[in-house]
Structure 1
Amino acid sequence: MDEFNGTEINFHCMYIPFCDARDCDRELYDSPVDCPDCNRGMVALHFTILILMAIFITMGNLGIILVIKRNKIFHNSFNMFKCSLAFADLLVGVLVVPSGAYETASIMMRSFDPTALNRTDYLIGKDVAMIRPDSMCDRIYQEDIGGPGMFLSMISVLSVMASIFHLVLLSIDRFLAVWCPIKYNQRKALKDKCAISMIIFVWLVSITLSVVIPMSLGQRHFIHGLSPAMIFTLKTSNPSTGIFYATFGLGLPYLALLGLNTATGSIILIKHRNLVRRSSLSPSLNSGGRRKDEVKATITILVMIVVFTLSTLPAMVAVTFYNGTEHKKKGDATIRSIIYSTLILLLVSNSAWNFIIYSWRNDNFRKALKNLFTRKQQRQRAIIRWKQLKCSVLLLSEEKRRRKKLIKLTEASNSYSSEKM
């Protein structure tokens, strides 16, 4: 072995499942994907899953944004929060998943560098794991310390932070809708300007926690890296930093969600009991329908919270406690890497669940989404545009006739006045 002349780094080498090329003989094989321990079929399946997830996340969240934008029935504070949440999820489908898959493909398919065999600048890991130059670990490390790796890691964290804070906004909206329904329907309980200000505040807080603080503290407190699931992730390397993020990024928002949804459910239950007591009075159809919509919207928020928790919490625990260099046996490391990758993919799938929940729980959204892609809706839009164009042409022609008539009257008046003189 060559003389060691490296530096200690805060880095964990996590390889791709079914492709453990850490000990690949670079003199016999051209690239990591050619190594005998790399199953090309399983790697191709992993790439296919990532591509399908990116397409579904992108198309689903674009559908949410377009439906809300084009239908006036959805122009309220509740759907404004939904639209902003869809944009946060859209970042994952457009940037995080495709970029992570592309970076992983470039790492695995790029040919080995023959000159790296004679270099002595070895890298040593946090757990005394030696990283050979131009190996899979060295390539992942070089990708991680670059600008794109750091940026994509922050975007993935930004999406998670924005999601949980938007769930708080949606819970606030539902609480106000149940607590003071008359003012809410008149848009006095939560005005549009106030909703926009709340959205801006949430994005500022999310950007501060996911971008500003990690960039200011640097690698002394954060590790950004390419995970086995081909997704860039960000984890804290300092216990105090981890406690700070667990408190302000997860703990307090979850307490707010618990308190708001408990209060909302209690108000709905109290209103229902009051109606039961007044059995002699039959409730109006409108109030009954409104209460049904309130209950349905509240249950939708609860479903979103449960799905968000089940998809993000296990992955966050795995990112916090799992270290790929701790497992020397290939069999044990392979199983743990597969579990870790599955949890990361489950985390990414959180960006697609909201579209499924809206389509399942909201009849109006489902109909509007169907009309968005049908020819009937396109024909109706074309007819409306044609009528608008026809009206504008008729108005122009009427204006021309009026002007001509005015000119003739003016000329006749002038000629009459001249003859009289």
Structure 2
Amino acid sequence: MLSGLEPTNCTVCCCTLANKILMVVFMILLIFAILFGNSVTLAVVFGTKHFHTPQGYLKASLATADLAVGVFVVPLSVYAEVSLLINGSTPEWTMRNSQDLTLHPCIFIGPMFAGCTLVSITTIFLLTIERSIAVVKPLHKESVITKKRTSVLIVLSWLGSFLLAVTPIIFSKDISLEYNPCSRMCNYAVGGNGFPSHAWNILLLFPVFDFTLLGGTMVINIISFSTIRQHSKRRKHLAEADSQSITKPTFSDIKAARTIGTLTLAFTASFTPIAVFVVGNVIGNEWCNFSFFAFWILATNSCWNVIIYSVRDQKFRHRAHQLLALPRGKNDNT
């Protein structure tokens, strides 16, 4: 999301040979963490009947989006930076943008990263709604939240997210894709004559869309947690017969809502630097060093979900441990 391909000064990631090596090691470790963590998540969800639920499907969608970042996005950066280490220069395509080179790799990788980020935000929003219904309206959970409806919403979220991801390069000739020398990643770039405000308005669709969904997610989480708090108070003060009312959310629903709340906070924290960076670009700041940290903090978020599940979901943790342990007979798929 930087404007153009001007050469940049020495940045924190690549000032010295040691920094370059550390950066490449970090990228390679991140690939392994993303692939391992999200593969475990998909194995747990699809290999365990207990997780064949609307919530499980949404977690699988989130893991797939994160897995795509580790398979497509980060490896391209590793290839470019390893080439720089070995040959003393990056590949020729890193010096040109997608308007100058027809088969530019960033034409695919840039929208892939943006689309997967949008899918993650949309999926977290859907997870929050699913858990909110389970907590606030437990009697309506089974009738409102179905596997078929969830599957349709997942497909729509992927289609809508990637449509939005390619919108900048479709609707503005001033926007291209480049391998940015600051972020060390494929980004949208604004070129053309002057400082075309309409191009920046299109790029601002990303933070506006993301923070609208994240804001809605926060509000829904607040409602859910308020309900959980009221339920906890009733359990302490009401009679035993009342506390066992079927209209109250189950313990697993409450715990799942708290897990989704943690996911929301983690993603909000990882996405906020990108939004700040985009707004800074709009008002004319390049923030080269900051862009590196902003984009790679967001990329790192792709390996955090499995950690959050493992810490907060005992059933997930138990099943993941079974899958990773040495085989001792038939697996328990219940």
> If the length of structure 1 is used for normalisation, what is the TM-score?
0.67
- Range 303-312 or range 250-259, more displaced: 250-259
Match of 1:362 among 299, 313, 319: 313
State the structure with more CA Rg.
1
Q: Is the 8 A contact 1:229 1:344 kept in 2?
A: yes
How big is the alpha-carbon RMSD for the aligned residues of Structure 1 and Structure 2? Answer: 3.2
Q: Which residue of 2 aligns with 1:181?
A: 138
Match of 2:222 among 259, 262, 276: 262
| Aligned equivalents of 1:245, 1:229: Cα separation in 2 | 18
Q: For 1:375, what is the secondary structure of its paired residue?
A: coil
Q: Which residue of 1 aligns with 2:40?
A: 63
Residue 228 of structure 1 aligns with an amino acid whose one-letter code is: C
| Aligned equivalents of 1:235, 1:265: Cα separation in 2 | 41
Q: For 1:11, what is the secondary structure of its paired residue?
A: coil
| Aligned equivalents of 1:191, 1:19: Cα separation in 2 | 47
Q: Which residue of 2 aligns with 1:17?
A: 11
Q: How does 1:295-306 map to 2 (within 5 A)?
A: 295-306=254-265
Q: For 1:340, what is the secondary structure of its paired residue?
A: helix
- Range 271-280 or range 76-85, more displaced: 271-280
Give the superposition deviation at 1:320: 4.7
Task: Please state if 1:271 is matched with 2:231.
Answer: yes
Q: Is the 8 A contact 1:15 1:228 kept in 2?
A: no
Task: Please state if 1:239 is matched with 2:200.
Answer: yes
Task: Please state if 1:42 is matched with 2:19.
Answer: yes
Unaligned runs of 5+ in 1: 1-8, 21-37, 113-135, 328-335, 385-421
Q: 1:94 to 1:62 in 2, by over 3 A?
A: same
Q: Is the 8 A contact 1:221 1:241 kept in 2?
A: no
| Aligned equivalents of 2:235, 2:183: Cα separation in 1 | 53
Q: Is the 8 A contact 2:218 2:264 kept in 1?
A: no
Give the superposition deviation at 1:311: 1.1
Residue 19 of structure 2 aligns with an amino acid whose one-letter code is: M
Q: Deviations over 1:246-300 (max 9, x none)?
A: 33x2232123212321222233334344444533646349998x63322221111
Q: Which residue of 1 aligns with 2:62?
A: 85
Q: For 2:188, what is the secondary structure of its paired residue?
A: strand
Match of 1:52 among 14, 26, 29: 29
| Aligned equivalents of 2:34, 2:320: Cα separation in 1 | 15
Q: Deviations over 1:387-418 (max 9, x none)?
A: xxxxxxxxxxxxxxxxxxxxxxxxxxxxxxxx
Q: Is the 8 A contact 1:101 1:231 kept in 2?
A: no
Q: Is the 8 A contact 2:277 2:291 kept in 1?
A: yes
Unaligned runs of 5+ in 2: 191-195
Q: How does 1:197-212 map to 2 (within 5 A)?
A: 197-211=152-166
Give the superposition deviation at 1:160: 1.1
Q: Deviations over 1:189-212 (max 9, x none)?
A: 21111000010111111011112x
Q: For 1:234, what is the secondary structure of its paired residue?
A: strand
Q: Which residue of 2 aligns with 1:294?
A: 253
Q: 1:73 to 1:285 in 2, by over 3 A?
A: farther
Q: 1:70 to 1:222 in 2, by over 3 A?
A: same
Give the superposition deviation at 1:322: 5.0
| Aligned equivalents of 1:311, 1:39: Cα separation in 2 | 27
Q: For 2:243, what is the secondary structure of its paired residue?
A: coil
| Aligned equivalents of 2:6, 2:255: Cα separation in 1 | 46
Q: Is the 8 A contact 2:110 2:188 kept in 1?
A: yes
Q: Deviations over 1:202-235 (max 9, x none)?
A: 1111011112x13312541455433434322235
Q: 1:18 to 1:198 in 2, by over 3 A?
A: closer
Q: Which residue of 1 aligns with 2:170?
A: 216
> If the length of structure 2 is used for normalisation, what is the TM-score?
0.83
| Aligned equivalents of 1:64, 1:278: Cα separation in 2 | 39
Q: 1:170 to 1:16 in 2, by over 3 A?
A: farther
Q: How does 1:14-413 map to 2 (within 5 A)?
A: 14=8, 17=11, 39-107=16-84, 109-110=86-87, 140-142=94-96, 145=99, 146=101, 147-184=104-141, 187-211=142-166, 213-234=167-188, 238-247=199-208, 249-279=209-239, 281=241, 283-284=243-244, 291-321=250-280, 337-377=288-328, 379-381=329-331
Residue 330 of structure 2 aligns with an amino acid whose one-letter code is: Q
| Aligned equivalents of 1:167, 1:215: Cα separation in 2 | 26
| Aligned equivalents of 1:260, 1:380: Cα separation in 2 | 41
Q: 1:278 to 1:139 in 2, by over 3 A?
A: closer
| Aligned equivalents of 2:174, 2:158: Cα separation in 1 | 25
Residue 196 of structure 1 aligns with an amino acid whose one-letter code is: S
Give the superposition deviation at 1:44: 1.0
| Aligned equivalents of 2:175, 2:319: Cα separation in 1 | 46
Q: 1:226 to 1:239 in 2, by over 3 A?
A: closer
Q: Which has the higher contact order (CA 8 A, sep 6+)?
A: 2
